[in-house]
């Protein structure tokens, strides 16, 4: 079975995009009504991002393709 976790490269790109926008992960999480600890875990590649809040964070961060529903 292939590794379901996001690669370090895509996580680094997402962190770079946040830095380019001048946002901390916590600020970005609060803007998108997400738990900051979930966003940090996604950015550090500690979550598979298959469902729930981690999936939503990964899609909004551009780490994975997917659909976000409210």
The ranges assigned to domains in the chain are 8-61
40 within 8 A of 63, measured Cβ to Cβ: no
Q: What are 50-61's pLDDT values in tens digits?
A: 999 999 999 999
Report the pLDDT value the prediction gives residue 1, as an integer from 0 to 100.
46
Report the pLDDT value the prediction gives residue 31, as an integer from 0 to 100.
97
Report the pLDDT value the prediction gives residue 6, as an integer from 0 to 100.
84
Whole-angstrom CA distances from 28 to 1, 3, 13 are: 32, 27, 15
């Amino acid at each position: 079975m292939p590794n379901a976790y996001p690669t370090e490269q895509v996580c680094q790109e997402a962190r770079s995009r946040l830095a380019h926008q001048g946002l901390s992960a916590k600020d970005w999480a609060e803007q998108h009504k997400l738990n900051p600890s979930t966003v940090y875990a996604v950015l550090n590649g500690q979550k598979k991002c298959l469902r729930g809040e981690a999936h939503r964070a990964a899609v909004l961060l551009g780490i994975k393709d997917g659909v976000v529903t409210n």
